[in-house]
Chains A and B, each alone.
Chain A
């Protein structure tokens, strides 16, 4: 073997730690249901599977980008101005996502409206930059960002699917109708696409996850 045991061991441990960190964000520290961060967008955007996926993709890009930069400059950032520094980095990446969506996904960009630029103040990004990336190396920070974003995407889909099914009666993914419910597609329960329906689904899911023990009850 060319690689000594020490090298191999180091590489493996970083890899394993990164994998653990990635998994951590999916259920144990799920951004939406456990940490309860970034609710605003989760409720506003979950009106279609495409939209939720696109938004989560944007979030993943912003989180990974921010994680890398914050982790790189963690030793030279003066402690007293770190939050403004982080938020400007986040805003820069959000601008990139906003412009890319405007150019290549104009339909979805239109539907997302002000919620796409509002990624800047999505608490998860800043929270992970402050709590995690500012103290760890790049590999771990990227793994954490990806895990958080993936967990967020799953949570968004869990909210989106019942809302769309009940509110529209049919599930449309990338232009093709996947599921059509018999009666509901003629007379959908419209309240689920409006604001109260979002809160209802969210509240029920929070209760459910506490009931089955994914999240601790208060």
Chain B
């Protein structure tokens, strides 16, 4: 159990996907202009990453490894992710129309998010068992949402700031990311696996 918690905290905070491992920077800079959007994206990502993490693990263990075709992981994983995004989208559309509308375009965009594919590669590389894979999926997704929300909150305040003209917009956002990186990097060594 403590092992699972360690994986969760490591991936959520110490090895944070966005600001430490640079996975999923496109939505990080693209969708964090408003807090509401960032939050929706984060929730969508938690759902998709958990589902895709579980599906990816099952397929790796019961299809790729028995047939000795692990080298096909890239093609298989991207199809698993695309399928899982589609299924999640249909499920949410049927069960909760309000939530579905709030996701808008962000849900299909998750297919090409580095974070999801990166997560599956990390799960494969670290040879996690099923419980560990689930915890690493949820942990990294929660860390992703955390940083997205912090970033959006800061950027909403930054709108009224007055930086030099050439640093307005994206460069400014990158500097905020740098400071978040410093903060999250400060947690290094808190947890030992």
Contacts and interface: CB of A to CB of B under 8 A. Distances in A.
Contact of B168 (A36, A92, A117, A217): A217
B144 to A, nearest CB: 13
A44 B165 CA distance: 28
A126 B112 contact: yes
A40 B25 contact: yes
A203 B165 contact: no
Interface residues of A, number: 43
A194 B79 CA distance: 32
A95 B177 contact: no
A206 B174 CA distance: 9
A114 B122 CA distance: 7
Contacts, number: 119
Contacts of A126: 112
A199 B181 contact: yes
Which of A37, A114, A208 has most chain B Cβ within 10 Å? A114
Nearest to A203: B174
B163 to A, nearest CB: 9
The 5 closest A-B pairs by CB, nearest first: A218-B169, A203-B174, A199-B178, A210-B166, A196-B181
Given A198-B22, A203-B174, A207-B167, 10 more contacts: A44-B22, A84-B79, A87-B112, A114-B118, A121-B112, A195-B181, A196-B178, A196-B179, A196-B182, A218-B168
